[in-house]
Structure 1
């Protein structure tokens, strides 16, 4: 009996009792835990058994940014961003992990003086990282060229007289490369040898050489230099990219996507939760892809351009445990994480969708505790979003706050609450997250519901509609948000803490809600020149070329010349950035508190790193600004849909499928990509199989073939149109366009064909007709006989067989009881270029010159033999 059938019978049985019971849709997302709770003590998934005790914890939990502060005040938190300025000094320091782009000093592994040199090594992260971007000595940002700190922006610090500082880095390869200069100086004493490689450990080494006595105070005004770095942290498995494998970290990419980083932390981070991705992610991978795509959505900015909706950047130590990082990541995306009964995790980021909404009825609720107002001690009339600001060298910073002045007057004072988004580095993102928490905090309807087992779908959903005209008439038809749910069998099944879902929580008007960029206190470098603060960056297409617009905050000093520089973030396809290209803007004038700068034409359709600096009249440079990233899209207009897309040729299609398509009168179309997915599956270009790309132009027709169109049927008279060619054993007859066998004996129906060389894979297809008893199967005869799968019912069958030495003929054999017919038989040798056997849906996607996708055409369904 199937699982679904058993569940249906159970539902009908419960419906006949006196217990209240609502009908439940037994969907594949939620039923595993539902069946467990109805059992007697636990349930098994594969070889593992899950007991009730393992369920007696939070099933669904939201980000602890503000909404759960009072309930979970002791929740672990990552280190403050300011802690990344100085290395940890401990005998056995805690390990560090970092995601996105952040500043960190790590933990000191070695600190040794020898002669006039000071040597140090710091463990930056306990895993492989992408890159070291910027370097700091104490609070001075320094420029490093060929491992040497140059005096370009230091005004003599770290380079006066005979003093110099060298910095060396390792990204955390396994095995890693020793620091040769340190080994040469300290190896003989056994302090630092070639065995001190730090496999899998990203690290930073320093050698500081003393200055002469008269220059020492100039070179090292703060004493021994303390290094810290801005890094691009962990590589993560982006499950949307079919070229990446969860078992091969070398295929992973660096990312700031909150959903992708959360998946890494749950399953792949050595210092995370250590979940099995096959249980935690794969059963619900489509849901994770949806959330990752939402995180990557472009949100418009008030001054032009866009930024990604949810990005995550930060670091933590193992002192705090994995929950600390989990809370910080969820806070960056207003996340809601569900722990399903079979081990799967379901993430829902902050964007309302009906697809993530469930329903609770009167029959599903056995108890409630509703609060229709806000207690004085819980009242908040001002919310201050806090984030980490790279422009102030990675310190905690406030954005413009949200407040209710009428409520402040009524309360007689300002009641402030902070929204903590420490792993958020974009001030606009912090404002968007703050708005969501502010609107929730202002909601007066809150409480908890005791939910029966029949309401389990709602326990897992982020949003719940209440159909409660009898139990909760005031909330009938209302939408509430599930903030936290736990298993509570003594209360009927589950307890759900909820809050009424605020209207307009997803609305965002940049012009009125973005607020002002947080001020950056003047922080001149050693050359007494302030560092520029970038307000926004925008790629501007101009007749097929692209330039970059950069808006910086006016320093109110007309003697400074602003300069912009850019580089290709990945110049060689291996992650190595290109050379910087500088573009001075001496004629740029302030307007409205900002200075608009621009580059010349930049490489098109590339990911670019952008920085800005000021040049003083003495030609000294300020520090370069925080690195921003932009894609130089030359054509943002998507192409029009194809005017036609159809299958050509006729069945049977041996190892290939041929198509014809036409483009419309559209100047933007430049290419068409062809994709293949299993028939009936949803189409997603990020996960579908790309089978080819065709360069195209407007108003033209094209053909495309997927697979090997040279294959032919080895069987002659495969339709049994005549009684020829085939060697018939006893019981076989050929008539009426088919070969028929009468029960009584088992004999072969064969034809001599070429089955060499041995080891060749042959594909076959045939129809079984009129079967009333027994079975029939394909066969290779001669030498070592090869038999195919026995078929016991009417239908069309496809498969493959591998020939062995001595095989000289092919056809069919059967059980002695087989009574039926075969027809339309096909056999051909498979080649590596053959399209896979089966039933497939094909799609065609037009693209412009910047690879912006237009509307897709399809599906066109094809059966490939």
Structure 2
């Protein structure tokens, strides 16, 4: 009996039961999959081929961050953050990759003593990184000036007597530069030569010189120093920036954006999944841009200021495989990742939107298993979010937990689960992620659905609305979240694990839900001075200037003077930071357990790095705090909309479009940017083409032209207003403002403009009254150049390149053509011409800080 016959009998049998099977034998989607599986390689839907291997894997996967994924407990996990304090010591160590800002020691490549010196080299990351920010020897943070560890904060360690330590870094260029000092000392023995460059490998080298016998214990109390570093890791392709190319890593930027880092890990990380970005990202790139923008949304903080919604920082080794990093990245943004059959990957981060919602009906579901309650062994009445805390030198730390005391009393004990957000370094972000998992964990309606192939759109969606009055009447109209979906052909197509979507999961009140900053143990440096802990950092505009407000936790020691320092993060446009500028705050007084500090005026509208420290009465410094970044926005108020934005001049628009606009009585407006997008496309200044910027003042009018205003039509009487200038072939007449042809003979209208061989000419024409045949524009002479054939009414734009010997322009109709031509235009294209086509133009006002106001437009323009 054939497979097809068996399936037919099975469906007949099911159709006679009380289940919701139709008696229809096979639907048009279901059948091709089952019949194709009898082959050996895969099956096709449209132009895409789906392999059997992909059928056996998850289609949709969410972040593995809390204990409810107990069945997936064996999923690989990155190293603990504490593992970044000491280098890996293995004969052939696993390679390391790092994203965002993190602390890592890498893997030891060389450890050699010669005379009174100890030399070492550590592979920090197997790719190019942005920068080395902070340096540690053992657990002491040290200050490095011109490669030398200075005694500023070490109290004599690593610098007592004749002892000294030098640290050298390489960012991972290709080719890279050898360590000259190591080569000069170890090259003759072949231990470390000029060939040991480490191309494409970020690395750290150390030379430690012994102290005299009486100073050795003071200089090196822990024995040989073990270096580790805080770095800004991989450069990633930000697909929202038109200046960045996926094929040119030199154009990429450093980022903490979870969505952009995930795209890098999927497609560009040498140690990631190695997907083809043209298949995985480009078909759904607009969806990825939406998620990246959500990650960059500003979330208000209880004490003032904002932070980005979802940021990602962490490192991993190739020992774990790419799924380890994938889970860690998804956990930082409450991510949901879909693997589509054509190879595309669709990310949805943690923020509900109707656009990411699909519908399942009774007809789409062939089976279900719904749990209306929580089993005792699965119960959780306390969730503890865990994250990596830079303020404790990058260790795992807890935030305030979420709990249900009534449930604890009913259960008779505390049932705790941990939310693991290891690549999250912001405690407030960990709280927001923890709330989302806590609300899901408290949901009582969970289960799985067996979905037919007709419900494939729901399998790819994160949120699903159920229209199930017959099969699941209790859930009819409910919104559920697709937690994990897999192909299950024997169950009808797919199996979807779901959970009812919690109400208020996106609500966030910083004043009541942010919680308290996790405590930082009073760790001191070698000078016995505690390191400040920053609670809040905020740029404050003040009459066109900006100062930085920094709130630190009170150390409860009045003898310490707090000091703040800042620098421009990118002083030269190439990523090189500027010099630090310090400002002491001797008169700052504690209040409510915090000390409120401020700087003087700082450079405006720049990204600044900010740190804090304490100075003791003996003028010794503490370690500097964790670096925080802030943008010194001088004017946070967006400008008002333009009072007018209009087209000027008249059609036809030969290679240009002219506009006029005026500003209102608004002191915030400083510039207006004009953008061009394809007609009908949504306007996004990150992806639209910027065609010009005008400096403006309030209550004023301006003009702007996109393109070349010098172009003129090389054809005379192009509108056929009179029966002149055109030589008419058989069947052609000029009347009624048009050139008309009747069927019968192939012939043309001609003129003899001046041609330049090799020049591109833009052409426009309008066909009306068409009834039969084909017409086209043509250049003739020694060589014939044909335009596109026209077989319908319409207005047409095209380009033709003149060949040697062209001397005649022809409107040619074949023997069957019957119709009329009008508005025939030809002119020579220049590099300054606006592109040919139909476009929408927008005008966007901005203030002095680049804050955008409401856009004006679209103005629809046809440019010939």
Superposition deviation, residue 39 in structure 1 = 6.7
Deviation track 1:553-593 (CA, whole Å, cap 9, x = no partner) reads 00000000000000010111111111100010000000000
User: CA contact under 8 A between 2:635 and 2:848: conserved in structure 1?
Assistant: yes
Aligned to 1:718: 718
Superposition deviation, residue 792 in structure 1 = 2.0
Superposition deviation, residue 742 in structure 1 = 3.6
Q: Residues 36 and 326 of structure 1: is their aligned pair in 2 closer, same or farther, counting only changes over 3 Å?
A: farther
User: CA contact under 8 A between 2:21 and 2:366: conserved in structure 1?
Assistant: no
User: In the aligned structure 2, how far is the partner of 1:474 from the partner of 1:57?
Assistant: 31
User: In the aligned structure 2, how far is the partner of 1:236 from the partner of 1:20?
Assistant: 49
Superposition deviation, residue 288 in structure 1 = 0.9
Superposition deviation, residue 466 in structure 1 = 1.5
Aligned to 1:754: 754
Aligned to 2:816: 817
Deviation track 1:296-332 (CA, whole Å, cap 9, x = no partner) reads 1111111111111100000000100000000000000
Aligned to 2:36: 40
The reply to whether residue 840 of structure 1 matches residue 836 of structure 2 is no
Aligned to 2:575: 575
Aligned to 1:741: 741
User: In the aligned structure 2, how far is the partner of 1:242 from the partner of 1:673?
Assistant: 16
User: CA contact under 8 A between 2:665 and 2:699: conserved in structure 1?
Assistant: yes
Deviation track 1:798-842 (CA, whole Å, cap 9, x = no partner) reads 111111222223233343333333221101111111111010011
Aligned to 1:103: 103
User: CA contact under 8 A between 1:21 and 1:364: conserved in structure 2?
Assistant: no
User: CA contact under 8 A between 2:541 and 2:635: conserved in structure 1?
Assistant: yes
Aligned to 2:177: 177
Aligned to 1:859: 858
Deviation track 1:638-688 (CA, whole Å, cap 9, x = no partner) reads 111111111111000011111111111111111111111100111111111
Superposition deviation, residue 744 in structure 1 = 3.9
Greater shift in the superposed pair: 464-473 or 766-775: 766-775
Aligned to 1:553: 553
User: In the aligned structure 2, how far is the partner of 1:628 from the partner of 1:778?
Assistant: 64
Q: Residues 104 and 46 of structure 1: is their aligned pair in 2 closer, same or farther, counting only changes over 3 Å?
A: farther
The reply to whether residue 709 of structure 1 matches residue 705 of structure 2 is no
Q: The residue matched to 1:260 in structure 2 has which SS?
A: helix
Q: The residue matched to 1:69 in structure 2 has which SS?
A: helix
Deviation track 1:388-413 (CA, whole Å, cap 9, x = no partner) reads 00000000001111111111111111
Superposition deviation, residue 20 in structure 1 = 6.4
Under a length normalisation based on structure 1, what TM-score does the superposition of the two structures give? Answer: 0.95
Instruction: Give the RMSD, CA atoms, in angstroms.
Output: 1.9
Q: What 5-or-longer segments of structure 2 have no aligned partner? A: 1-14
User: CA contact under 8 A between 2:48 and 2:341: conserved in structure 1?
Assistant: no
Superposition deviation, residue 778 in structure 1 = 1.7
User: In the aligned structure 1, how far is the partner of 2:169 from the partner of 2:498?
Assistant: 49
User: CA contact under 8 A between 1:21 and 1:454: conserved in structure 2?
Assistant: no
Aligned to 2:7: none
Aligned to 1:727: 727
Q: Residues 547 and 245 of structure 1: is their aligned pair in 2 closer, same or farther, counting only changes over 3 Å?
A: same
User: CA contact under 8 A between 1:673 and 1:694: conserved in structure 2?
Assistant: yes
User: CA contact under 8 A between 1:33 and 1:340: conserved in structure 2?
Assistant: no
User: CA contact under 8 A between 2:753 and 2:808: conserved in structure 1?
Assistant: yes
Instruction: Give runs of aligned pairs for residues 658-669 of structure 1, distance below 5 A.
Output: 658-669=658-669
User: CA contact under 8 A between 2:564 and 2:584: conserved in structure 1?
Assistant: yes
User: In the aligned structure 1, how far is the partner of 2:857 from the partner of 2:416?
Assistant: 55
User: In the aligned structure 1, how far is the partner of 2:850 from the partner of 2:252?
Assistant: 22
Aligned to 2:764: 765
User: In the aligned structure 2, how far is the partner of 1:52 from the partner of 1:379?
Assistant: 37
User: CA contact under 8 A between 1:775 and 1:817: conserved in structure 2?
Assistant: yes
User: In the aligned structure 2, how far is the partner of 1:694 from the partner of 1:272?
Assistant: 44
What is the aligned length?
841
Greater shift in the superposed pair: 241-250 or 789-798: 789-798
The reply to whether residue 396 of structure 1 matches residue 435 of structure 2 is no
Aligned to 2:781: 782
The reply to whether residue 425 of structure 1 matches residue 422 of structure 2 is no
Q: Residues 127 and 484 of structure 1: is their aligned pair in 2 closer, same or farther, counting only changes over 3 Å?
A: same
Instruction: Give runs of aligned pairs for residues 323-402 of structure 1, distance below 5 A.
Output: 323-402=323-402
User: CA contact under 8 A between 2:29 and 2:454: conserved in structure 1?
Assistant: no
Superposition deviation, residue 748 in structure 1 = 4.1
User: In the aligned structure 2, how far is the partner of 1:268 from the partner of 1:680?
Assistant: 33
Superposition deviation, residue 69 in structure 1 = 2.6
User: CA contact under 8 A between 1:103 and 1:228: conserved in structure 2?
Assistant: yes
Deviation track 1:168-225 (CA, whole Å, cap 9, x = no partner) reads 1111111111111111111111111111111111111111111122211111111111
Aligned to 2:6: none
Aligned to 1:830: 829
Aligned to 1:28: none
Q: The residue matched to 1:633 in structure 2 has which SS?
A: coil
Greater shift in the superposed pair: 790-799 or 38-47: 38-47
User: CA contact under 8 A between 1:33 and 1:341: conserved in structure 2?
Assistant: no
Under a length normalisation based on structure 2, what TM-score does the superposition of the two structures give? Answer: 0.95
Instruction: Give runs of aligned pairs for residues 61-100 of structure 1, distance below 5 A.
Output: 61-66=61-66, 68-100=68-100
User: In the aligned structure 2, how far is the partner of 1:596 from the partner of 1:61?
Assistant: 44
Aligned to 1:119: 119
Deviation track 1:234-278 (CA, whole Å, cap 9, x = no partner) reads 011111111111111111110000011011111111111111111
User: CA contact under 8 A between 2:108 and 2:122: conserved in structure 1?
Assistant: yes
User: In the aligned structure 1, how far is the partner of 2:78 from the partner of 2:423?
Assistant: 9
Superposition deviation, residue 717 in structure 1 = 1.0
Q: The residue matched to 1:720 in structure 2 has which SS?
A: coil
Aligned to 1:617: 617
Aligned to 1:656: 656
Q: The residue matched to 1:858 in structure 2 has which SS?
A: strand
Q: The residue matched to 1:172 in structure 2 has which SS?
A: coil
Q: Residues 134 and 33 of structure 1: is their aligned pair in 2 closer, same or farther, counting only changes over 3 Å?
A: farther
Superposition deviation, residue 725 in structure 1 = 2.1
User: In the aligned structure 2, how far is the partner of 1:466 from the partner of 1:729?
Assistant: 68
Superposition deviation, residue 765 in structure 1 = 0.3
User: In the aligned structure 2, how far is the partner of 1:580 from the partner of 1:797?
Assistant: 61
The reply to whether residue 252 of structure 1 matches residue 249 of structure 2 is no
User: In the aligned structure 2, how far is the partner of 1:240 from the partner of 1:850?
Assistant: 20
Aligned to 1:798: 797
Aligned to 1:266: 266
Superposition deviation, residue 35 in structure 1 = 9.8
Superposition deviation, residue 769 in structure 1 = 2.6
Q: What 5-or-longer segments of structure 1 have no aligned partner? A: 1-16, 23-30
The reply to whether residue 484 of structure 1 matches residue 484 of structure 2 is yes
User: In the aligned structure 2, how far is the partner of 1:421 from the partner of 1:793?
Assistant: 61
Aligned to 1:562: 562
Q: Residues 695 and 808 of structure 1: is their aligned pair in 2 closer, same or farther, counting only changes over 3 Å?
A: same
Superposition deviation, residue 722 in structure 1 = 2.2
Superposition deviation, residue 34 in structure 1 = 8.3
User: CA contact under 8 A between 2:29 and 2:453: conserved in structure 1?
Assistant: no
Aligned to 1:494: 494
